[in-house]
Amino acid sequence: SQRSHLVTHRRLHTGECLFPCQECGKSFNGSSDLIKHRRTHTGEKPYECPDCGKRFSGGSNLIAHQRLHSGERPYTCTDCGKAFPISSKLITHQQTRSVVSNLVWHWRVHTGEKPFRCGECGRRYSQWAHLTTHQWVHSGEQPYVCGDCGKGFNVNSSLAKHRWVHTGEKPYHCPECGKNFSQSSNVIMHQRLHHGHGVH
């Protein structure tokens, strides 16, 4: 029931473990966790793969195994695009990458290396995430939507700047007269019209 799930979930926070294993003394916060654990002692593997007959002690292990047959890889690294059949492999991959990725990305600032190329226009990027964001320009996808007016944007920073229209915030100002603007492009236009900048 929903209540029993809530009780079990609360034990994750309190550290309370009411279900001890009689074999090794290890305790668990839910009876289902204890049942799964006991299979490590009994060797019971009730879940069988219909494709190859291999057996598993847990249902989640069977699901992960079946992805080897289907080729399904639902867990994708947002940094490099590499996909994995189970979430734990993605987590391990990301932890490994996080140690070296900052150094690699920093190194690319100096070398100018941009290994990720857009198939549509050929533009190159140093990070996979930046290429993904750029590709929304070609696809027309606008995943960032203003909650006030419904206008969509393909870059989160563009949505943040757009929100200033609704909040009245004007973070850009003209250094000559002090007038404030919500967009930097409006400052440039203002300077050209009123202060003669860029007019020949």
pLDDT over threshold 60, residue 12: no
Q: Which CATH architecture has domain 2-72?
A: 2-Layer Sandwich (3.30)
CATH for the 77-139 domain, from 3.40.720.10, 3.40.50.720, 3.30.160.60, 3.40.50.970 = 3.30.160.60
Q: Which amino acid is at 52?
A: C
pLDDT over threshold 60, residue 76: yes
77-139 and 156-194, same CATH topology: yes
- pLDDT at position 15 is 55
pTM, 2 dp: 0.38
74 φ, ψ (degrees, to nearest 5): -80, -10
Under 8 Å between Cβ of 128 and 80: yes
Average pLDDT (181-190) is 85
pLDDT over threshold 50, residue 200: no
Domain 156-194 has CATH 3.20.20.10: no
In this prediction, what percent of the chain has a pLDDT beyond 70? 86
Does residue 35 sit in helix, strand or coil? helix
**Measured distance CA(104)–CA(99) in Å, rounded:** 10
